[in-house]
Amino acid sequence: MADRAALLLAARGLTRTYPGVRALDGVDLTLRTGEIHALLGENGAGKSTLINLLTGAQPMEAGSIQLDGRDVRPRSPADATASGIVAVYQEITLLPNLSVAENIYLGREPTRFGLVDRARMRRDGATLLSRFGLSIDPAQPLSAFSTAVQQLIAIARAVDMSARVLILDEPTASLDSAEVAVLFRVMRELAGSGMAVLFVTHFLDQVYAVTDRITVLRGGKLVGERRTADLPRLDLVAMMLGKLPSGDGHLQRHAAREPGAPFINVKGLGKRHLVAPFSAEIRQGDVLGVAGLLGSGRTETALLLFGAERADSGQIVVDGEPVTLKGPRDAIRLGFGFCPEDRKLDGIVPDLSIRENIVLALQARQGWMKRLPLARQRELADTFIKLLNIRTPDAEKPIQLLSGGNQQKALLARWLATNPRLLILDEPTRGIDVGAHAEIILLLEKLRDEGMALYVISSEVEEVAAYADRVMVMRERRQAGMLTGGDVTPAAIIDAIVTPVEMPPSGRAA
Amino acid sequence: MMRINARTLPLLATLGVFILLYALCAIQYPAMLSSRVIGNLLTDNAFLGVLAVGMTFVILSGGIDLSVGAVMGFTTIALAVMIEGAGLHPLTSFTIVLVGGALFGCGIGAAIHWLKAPPFIVTLTAMFLARGAALLLSTDSIPVRHEFYQTLSGLSLSLPGGGRLGLIALLMLLAFVAGGVLLHFTRAGLKVYALGGNARFAGLMGIDTARTTILVYGVSSTMAALAGIIFSLYTRSGYALTGVGVELDAIAAVVIGGTLLSGGVGGMAGSLIGVLIQGLILTWITFDGSLSSWWTKIAIGMLLFIFIGLQRLILQFSAPTGRTG
Amino acid sequence: MTGWFMAARSRLVLLALVLLANMLVAPGFLELRLVDGRLFGGIIDILNRGAPVMLLAIGMAPVIATRGIDLSVGAVMAIAGAVAAASVNAGHAWPVAVLAALGTGLACGLWNGVLVTIFRIQPIVATLILMVAGRGIAQMITQGRVLTFTDDGLAGVSSATLLGLPLPVLIALAAAIITGLLVRATALGPFVEAVGTSPRAARLAGVPAPGILIGVYVWSGLMAALAGLIAAADIRGADANNAGLWLELDAILAVVIGGTSLYGGRFSIGLSVLGAIILQGMRTCILRAGLPPELNLLLMALVIALVLVVQSPACQPAIARLTARLTRRGTA
């Protein structure tokens, strides 16, 4: 039915480049009247950039947007709102210090004799909210309400500003299932009233529960647009992760090796609201791959293992001794290292030089009083610049001037300089160019062969399948399976990602 | 309007402190209850009150204005020079300094917005500018002897009990009422709250943050100029070093009045009480005779600490919980 | 060291201009005379008078590098001076008075550091408390008067001469060298720069962030106490109202001229000291030229405005392009 519906929004060839990265490369998006359309992709796929172009938060370099057959070129979010495109984000961009009514009518308050007509705002607000199933007093401060209610209020504001196209960017990430059900009812009603809803989420169940069509992005490019009903889950995940399970991989799986000496045993480690208890064994010279979609809890396992979040259940046993991690410093003392996913925020110190960034963790472990002599620092920096092929004229350049791939290599160098026994890597190959990508994979294999234990979180299933000895699959913030030996194949990983947790995961994966 | 929750708790606490303080004073010195003392309390603190009106806007918007004392000082000396030196009529001079103050503040706001510089450093620059310009006008204290000043200081409302509410006290109360209406009942006022709540979100919701920032600092400098007029009437003279450090008193009054220094939460009524608390401490010290003026600063520092601590706790407990990764 | 001189180049040019201006208004400015084993001359004068702001800038630079600010240093100067004056007047020997003053500075710094680090109050707000209350505390100690003292030992902090140089110059120099060594000969420098701009990255790399954050405020308090001692010794009395008044602003300005961004990151003790000397040089020049000293405020406003425009994100790309072009030409 949605097929025959009128074309509402047609975006063609949207392109946007950031320094060094083409974030969006000639992407098309078509929304029809009355449809709920899913926009899917991993981190860095270009979803946020696409939304930013549609809402005018960023200018587009190339491409066109047609709404109702008219060309629009939003220059700001306010501009986009005026033409009928509004976005509501997971991060609620309302003002908690204002009342609900003030939030709904901010910038377009009804006035009486030049003064804000609060009585009318309150009345109109209550009427509006009742359409969304909310019977609350709009004079209450926004912060008095739960995230779910705030989300609905944000949608109410957006829709009330005469929206034709409503973009919902991960609105369900912090909602419970009952709240999600309410949100879905609202979405269907809005679509039924002739709007189009663009729904960004990483919960596949929700995609199948509510959407009519799916657009998948990967690496800034359009992978394809499909009708939800015609696209099996397995194919969808394959589209998102870039591997069709039917085809054979180019990467050769390494030969089975002798298992290394016992090293780390994670027993039921977990933290409420973060990730359910998970267990894993990591041996020396062992690569434990961690697979799962965005938001599956894969990063959270690393945060617990590195002490960046304190676990409230379970324990970590290292060399047969149970240890407690009060913070990253404890983990570093045990010989752990962690390359986080968000290089800019959690990784590099942008002002410092490449040398200072490389020696940072080693220096922190030594303590501030025992400064590494400058000659030793230079030697370390130069060694790693050569070893990892970091492209820079010298080690004294501020690290922020390097490309993403070279920054990533410098962060790897930071941990390699500490000579770690366990290296935790969160999406080590995300957002970097092809050459650096291959180099990093080779390096990981070399480190493994030298006896280092690796804990690699990656959404590149094909790669994980190639170099991991075992793969832990995460789904909906819990451990959904542990694949070993011959079971470690791209198809099996995708299968485990898709399979609901309730099923015995090992049985399905085999 | 008034809701009793985490938001209004600081205001209630301020009110409680004021009433408690006043009761203590009155028990010790029953004369403090006389309308004469009340009238003086309002008159002596009129300039501080007017500064606090402007500072309330600034702090609610998430900023800070260190230039108000210097702008006030500049105004007093500029008035003296215009009236005594150039022979302008006081009313003409008042108009000139008010308009000048407004423009100066708009400039500050524009610099903060477009240079994306921290407000404290921009207003610090403005403070140097205003203070330097004031000293260039004259380093001496210049008395103002215009007869219009005599007339103005004669104007007052009689309070029951022999007290008098002078023109400048009335001006301050008027400033609070006007500021309160602008802040709480107009669209512009709501934008100030929005800006202080979260400037980025306010922008996303279609608020013109540039215009709002300019408005806020414009109001603050205009109020500083008005405070200068009041101080000029109060002392019947102009002096370039008037109001050194008074910006800190104004900030303290606003914070003690329950406005969050991080912006977005608070209101005009609290600032008035904040000013009165400071005035009350000063009056008490004057009555006591054995206590010295430094106790005012220490007491205000302690109140600041208590209120900032209180705000911190409220933020801690009212923050939305449990959103991770 | 060559890198430092590259970074210092523009400030050295500015300093040269200020000195040149001084020479123009006072022809004998550069002369140095040795009288009774003590050097006299325009440059010594600038260093001597600039010593308190140099000390404050030495303490302020690491604080600003952590994206913080310490507004209380002027008030801490007043407290430290008052404590020193009160203790010699109570009959203690001058070394005791000096130690008491320094201890007071440490305590004030610790208070600020704890508010910022443990209670997570924004630095500008946290240090505002002591800025307001500090002067009251100082006045309480001096009983609201200028607390004069006759102890020559304590007065010597300002008037004594060593190696031909006034003691304040040597104190500031020693503080600069010790602080410089502390941040550059140990690993503290990069740690300080990391905790302010990239708190999360620093924590994940194992940098002990809370200790460093408290430490920079404690150090700032200590430097302020030293400056307060010099100010008190200079007038042989503790003036709670005027000691260090507005000097926090001079210190912030010196650090900003020294190239540290108010948004944290890279800092240099040497350049911040240079910034303080430039400020004092400007002040001296205006004084010697017989111009009204009020011009100083206007000139300072002008300098900050210039720095703000240069540092503003709107101008950054243009400046980066310009330096890139200049360095390319330089190396070619």
pLDDT tens by residue, C183-239: 988 889 899 999 988 888 999 999 988 899 999 999 999 999 999 999 999 888 888
Domains of chain A (ranges plus CATH)? Answer: 262-335+420-509 (3.40.50.300), 350-419 (no CATH)
> Cα–Cα distance between B149 and B234 in angstroms, integer?
9
> Cα–Cα distance between A173 and B325 in angstroms, integer?
10
Q: At A63, which helix (H) or strand (E)?
A: strand A62-67
Residues counted in chain B? 325
> Cα–Cα distance between C157 and B122 in angstroms, integer?
36
pLDDT at A193 over 80: yes
Asked which of A181-185, A359-363, B218-222 is least confident by mean pLDDT, the reply is A181-185
Contact A5, A21 (CB under 8 A): no
pLDDT of res. C282: 87
pLDDT at B48 over 90: yes
pLDDT at B311 over 90: no
CA nearest to A120, candidates A132, A135, A105: A105
Taking all residues of chain C, what is their mean pLDDT, rounded to a whole number?
Answer: 86
> Cα–Cα distance between B244 and C135 in angstroms, integer?
14
pLDDT at A506 over 50: no
Decide if B207 and A143 are in contact by the 8 Å CB cutoff.
no
- Which two structure tokens, joined as six digits, stand for B4? 């009793």
| pLDDT class of A507 with cuts at 50, 70, 90 | very low
A315: left (phi over 0), alpha (psi -120 to 50) or beta: beta
> Cα–Cα distance between C61 and C220 in angstroms, integer?
9
Cβ neighbours of B206 in A, within 8 Å:
77-78, 81, 106-107
pLDDT at A91 over 90: no
Contact C106, B265 (CB under 8 A): no
pLDDT of res. B189: 93
Contact B65, B247 (CB under 8 A): yes
pLDDT at B323 over 60: no
Shortest Cα distance, chain C CAs vs residue B161, angstroms: 35
Give the distance, in angstroms, between the CA of residue B36 and the centroid of all CA atoms in the same chain. Answer: 23
> Cα–Cα distance between C317 and B316 in angstroms, integer?
39
Q: Structural domain boundaries of chain C?
A: 33-291
Torsion of CA C227, C233, C239, C240, to 10 degrees: 40
How many Cβ atoms are within 10 Å of A2's Cβ, its own excluded?
18
Which residue does chain B place closest to C245, by CA atoms? Answer: B245
How many Cβ atoms are within 10 Å of A53's Cβ, its own excluded?
27
**Preferred mutation among B2, B8, B187 to probe A, highest tally of A CBs within 10 A:** B187
Percent above pLDDT 70 for chain C: 94
Contact B26, B32 (CB under 8 A): yes
Give the chains touching B; criterion: ≥3 Cβ pairs < 8 Å: A, C
Decide if C312 and B114 are in contact by the 8 Å CB cutoff.
yes
CB nearest to C193's CB, from A327, A349, A368? A349
Most confident of A48-62, B153-167, B183-197, C298-312: B183-197
How distant, in Å, are the alpha carbons of A130, A208, A372, C260 from that of A189?
A: 13, 17, 64, 55
Contact C109, C221 (CB under 8 A): yes
Q: What phi, psi does C206 have (nearest 5°)?
A: 90, 15
Cβ neighbours of C66 in A, within 8 Å:
none
**Read out DSSP for B303-316?**
HHHHHHHHHHHHHH
Decide if B190 and A81 are in contact by the 8 Å CB cutoff.
no
pLDDT of res. B269: 92
pLDDT, tens digit, 9 for 90 and up, residues C69-88: 999 999 999 999 999 999 99
β pairing state of C38-41 and C32-35: antiparallel
Cβ neighbours of B71 in C, within 8 Å:
none
> Cα–Cα distance between C271 and A109 in angstroms, integer?
52
> Cα–Cα distance between B43 and B231 in angstroms, integer?
10
How many Cβ atoms are within 10 Å of B28's Cβ, its own excluded?
12
pLDDT of res. A248: 42
ipTM of the complex: 0.83
> Cα–Cα distance between C71 and A170 in angstroms, integer?
42
Which residue does chain C place closest to A377, by CA atoms? Answer: C187
How many Cβ atoms are within 10 Å of B138's Cβ, its own excluded?
17
Mean pLDDT for the stretch of residues B307-320: 69
pLDDT of res. C168: 92
CB nearest to C262's CB, from B118, B240, B297? B118
| pLDDT class of C179 with cuts at 50, 70, 90 | very high
**Read out DSSP for C285-308?**
HHHHTT--TTHHHHHHHHHHHHHH
What are the E-state strand segments in A228-299? 262-271, 275-283, 287-291
**Preferred mutation among A368, A371, A412, A423 to probe C, highest tally of C CBs within 10 A:** A368
- Which two structure tokens, joined as six digits, stand for B295? 């106790």
In degrees, rounded to 5, the angle at the alpha carbon of residue A483 between the alpha carbons of residues A477 and A489 is: 110
| pLDDT class of A254 with cuts at 50, 70, 90 | low
**Domain spanning C33-291, CATH class:** mainly alpha
Q: Does domain B9-317 have CATH number 1.20.1740?
A: no
Helices (H), chain C: 2-25, 42-65, 73-89, 94-117, 123-142, 152-159, 167-184, 188-197, 199-204, 209-235, 247-257, 269-288, 295-311, 316-331
β pairing state of A196-200 and A165-169: parallel
- Which two structure tokens, joined as six digits, stand for B124? 């610090």
Torsion of CA C226, C228, C233, C239, to 10 degrees: -170
What residues in chain A have their Cβ under 8 A from chain C's Cβ atoms? Answer: 306, 308, 327-329, 332, 338, 340, 345-352, 356, 360-361, 363-372, 396, 414
Helices (H), A323-370: 328-333, 354-366
pTM for the model stands at 0.82
pLDDT at A508 over 50: no
pLDDT, tens digit, 9 for 90 and up, residues C281-332: 988 888 888 877 777 788 888 887 887 787 777 777 777 777 667 666 554 4
Asked which of B91-100, B204-213, C39-48 is least confident by mean pLDDT, the reply is C39-48
Interface of B with C in 167-226 (CB under 8 A): none
pLDDT at A22 over 80: no
